[in-house]
Amino acid sequence: MTPQPIPEPDDELLRLGQHAFRSRLLVGTGKYATFEQMAAALELSGTQCVTVAVRRVNLDRRGGPSLLDHVDRARYTILPNTAGCFDAATAVRTAELARELLGTRLVKLEVLGDEKTLLPDPLGTLEATRELVRQGFDVLVYTSDDPRLACHLEQAGAAAVMPAGSPIGSGQGVLNPNAIRILMELVQVPVIVDAGVGTASDVALAMELGVDGVLLNSGIALAQDPLRMAAAMRDACRAGRNAYLAGRIPRRLYANASSPEAGLIEPAQRRGAAPGAAHAHGALAAEAGPAGE
């Protein structure tokens, strides 16, 4: 008899704006060796939402091949991002262009502070969020792990906040998990870790914090074997999510035996008594009779 596969545990969908996804892994489309490799990695990752850098891609297919020719629009939701924008006005114009070309309200907003660190500029990010929300965009905001800034972005109407685990492309994972935990307590919109994810364990640890998803690009595209890493990231995202929902055991300073001690046979022998000592002791007690005799 062929064993039947065990179904995945029930889980709610990840809802971003008007879209809902089973996969909680969002994957970028940049830095791959070829478009074909990118398409294969997206499939192996199990993602349903892929990011596209509007300013760095030939979105209208003029002047050469476009990565959009290798992204199945029926299979994936495209999330345009404003990567490479260093002020609010440029980010807003880029989002408007993406909406015109792609016909989507979704946008991943990035307003960067400088070219060296690629850290988000908080004031420009907040300004652009307010304007894009006013225009009817569903804004997913790349931000720092500052919990208070996340609150301001939520109040401005952000559909999701996306704190950086560590600097873009650094591969350092989540450097400040406590800030992410506090941030999640203070906002009600989805929280998605974005940037700095280098390997599968980074994804699993992020998901075990209870975040709603992870977005990554370099961690797959720049791996020595991108296709194998895409599969690893997929499995790590599922494992981390299930571990969070299952609830880990409490951490303890000392050991806690897996088997209870109640009902153990002949505990005297366990304390170093000679074999047969417990039996002999019982025999002598029986010969002595009741106490006082």
Residues acting as catalytic residues: 108
Instruction: Tell me how far apart the alpha carbons of residues 185 and 178 are, in angstroms, rounded to a whole number.
Output: 11
Rounded to whole angstroms, the Cα distance separating 117 from 115 reads 6
Q: Are strands 14-16 and 19-21 parallel, antiparallel or unpaired?
A: antiparallel
CA distance 25 to 49: 8
For tokens 């500029």, what's the residue? Answer: 121
* Residue 155 to residue 187: CA distance in whole angstroms: 9
Work out whether strand 192-194 and strand 106-109 pair parallel, antiparallel, or are unpaired: unpaired
Residue with tokens 């940049």: 30
Question: What DSSP string runs through 161-176?
Answer: EEE-SSSTT-----S-
Question: What six digits make up the tokens of 193?
Answer: 């870790």
3 state SS of 215? strand
- Alpha-carbon distance 195 to 141, whole Å? 12
User: What token pair was written down for 283?
Assistant: 């025999």
